[in-house]
A and B are shown apart, each in its own frame.
Chain A
Amino acid sequence: MLLAACVAPAAVVFAAFWLLPMVELALLPATKGAATYFAVLTEPRYLQSLVQTTLLSAAVTLVALAIAAAVGLYLGRRSFAGRRLLLAVLTLPLSFPGVIVGFFVILVGGRQGPVAGFTEALVGERITFAYGITGLFLAYVYFSLPRAIASFTAVAERMEHELEEAARSLGARRWHLVRDVWWPALQPTALAVGAILFATAMGAFGTAFTLASRYEVLPITIYNEFTNYANFALAASLSLALGLMTWAVLFAARRFGAATVGAGA
């Protein structure tokens, strides 16, 4: 009874402003025929976009997790002047909208940027990476790192060190340390944060929009359908596909995490 009353406001807000509208949206593709729901599978261009988005998001997640774990391990277990400031600076991009990150990539890697000037001095040609897969990948990593660094630093701060010291004193090599001491301690966080990173990367629109990237991601495909004579049915169908794919990966990650959770979840 009490529990129900406590959940009620959230349930009302969620139902009214997400669930019901989404149900309405989910019915849109039907207006163009039931086959529209499967457009992502039947039209090669959409399928390619979905695959590209998933691959990019997965790659970005893995790279960001790996780098952030290293940084978190370093920052979480050391104490030096300015550490807090450094952490604040490293996690600052959390507040950036994706468009800023896209802008940064154009600033650095566009035709007017320092990289182009540098390559011109070096090889005589202005090389820009902003508008291709490289620029997009770097941008996605840029906005994924801060969240992961914040989480890993927090976990590393609370890591128990007896295990590691024992391992070292027994002569364990670095690789064994990583596999048997660090990884189990970081794994729950890695899964939780990785899920958020993946979901964010899958749904990211502003960055690719600003970059006008050649590598097409599904949110941009959805935008294209949306503005192509207001093709809402197809935009809705693709959105459902994207949501489903993201949710499926998150679900699998949670199951995997629950199955392997040992001490210290």
Chain B
Amino acid sequence: MNASPRRLLKAAAVAIGLLAGAGAWAQTAICYNCPPEWADWGSQLRAIKAKTGITVPPDNKNSGQTLAQLVAEKASPVADIAYFGVTFGIQAKKEGVTAAYKPAGWAEIPDGLKDPDGHWFTIHSGTLGFMVNVDALKGKPVPRSWADLLKPEYKGLVGYLDPASAFVGYVGAVAVNSARGGNLDNFGPAIEWFKALKKNEPIVPKQTSYARVLSGEIAILLDYDFNAYRAKYKDKANVEFVIPAEGTVVVPYVMSAVARGPNTANGHKALDFILSNEGQAIWANAFLRPVRTSAISKEAQANFLPASEYARARTIDYGRMAEVQKAFSDRYLREAQ
């Protein structure tokens, strides 16, 4: 009847849609969680394009969203590479969404910071602390310890990323936990601290909030040293980084090649670049600690806080951290939200 021309039209529409989508695939690698405003991924993506010709579109997911999306798309992945905190990398391997790949420069990565089979590997690490917009404090003293943040004078000024979905959120919880006497088997101190912090009406975003600190919307954010240094030295904001007096942790961020991604070869090239001298130097210039320490220049090093401050930052058992993450997330959502 009049059904056939209609069906034809619909088929045509779908075909056009498919073509439009397909055309964009030339020389592309899809990355999940490459936000331009985090760790200066913007520069890294531009460099990848310039040096290898591969376009990697930016993506604003956080680590939890990345893992969830990868698992949802397991049957036919959309992404080629993924970036997340180390515990999510470990979990991703368990879920079977990663592929083994050992980029050039593999040998230089310390053993504890890579999966022996190549399913994930550290590209850089950071130390967690307070990223403080001094101007936004409007005269109040810069907090120096975890205990300081609980003081009523900081009401409405504190923010932290959601510990249940963002890796940096989870790291903040682990950091305050170990600083206040807990360990990976006992998250009591962390839960107590978050509960106490609730009185200060913290802001809890789910995705990277670098710009909100610069604008003064969030005066004190639990974030990494590299984001704070970048704000201070690159964006010339009046931002200070504080390593809390009670101590904190250093954590690696890892990348994985996604299993059966659409552009595997391009993804590998991108990973190779990220681990190359040039790629690692970009992280160093962005104030991260590149995993290949040979890439840090003296100038970049000079901008970090003195080593005496960093003595309070410790590494922990990342494998165990991954194992207890889900239980902690559940507990946080239940008790401290």
Contact = CB atoms under 8 A, between A and B. Distances in A.
Nearest to A212: B205
B325 A212 contact: no
Q: Which 5 A-B pairs have the closest CB atoms?
A: A227-B64, A227-B165, A230-B71, A230-B68, A212-B205
24 contacts: A45-B334, A111-B216, A131-B203, A209-B206, A212-B162, A212-B203, A214-B204, A223-B165, A223-B206, A224-B333, A226-B65, A227-B65, A227-B68, A228-B64, A228-B164, A228-B326, A228-B330, A228-B333, A229-B64, A229-B325, A229-B326, A229-B329, A230-B68, A230-B71
Nearest to B94: A229
B64 A106 contact: no
Contact of A232 (B3, B72, B326): B72
Interface band, chain A? 20 to 34
A243 interface: no
Interface of B: 1, 3, 6-7, 10, 62, 64-65, 67-68, 70-72, 91, 95, 136, 156, 162, 164-165, 201, 203-206, 215-219, 325-326, 329-330, 333-334, 337
Interface string A202-233: 00000001001010100000011011111010
Nearest to A220: B206
A8 B205 contact: no
A5 B3 CA distance: 8
A112 interface: yes
A100 B259 CA distance: 36
Interface of A: 5, 8-9, 44-45, 106, 110-112, 126, 128, 131-132, 209, 212, 214, 216, 223-224, 226-230, 232
Nearest to A227: B64
Interface centre among B95, B206, B216, B326 (most CB of A within 10 A): B206
Which residue among B62, B136, B330 has the maximum number of chain A CB atoms within 10 Å of its CB? B330
Given A111-B216, A214-B201, A228 B206 contact: no
Given A9-B6, A228-B165, A112 B215 contact: yes
A227 B70 CA distance: 11
A2 to B, nearest CB: 9
A228 B337 CA distance: 14
B333 A45 contact: yes
A110 B72 CA distance: 35
A208 to B, nearest CB: 10
A229 B206 contact: no
Contacts of B95: 230
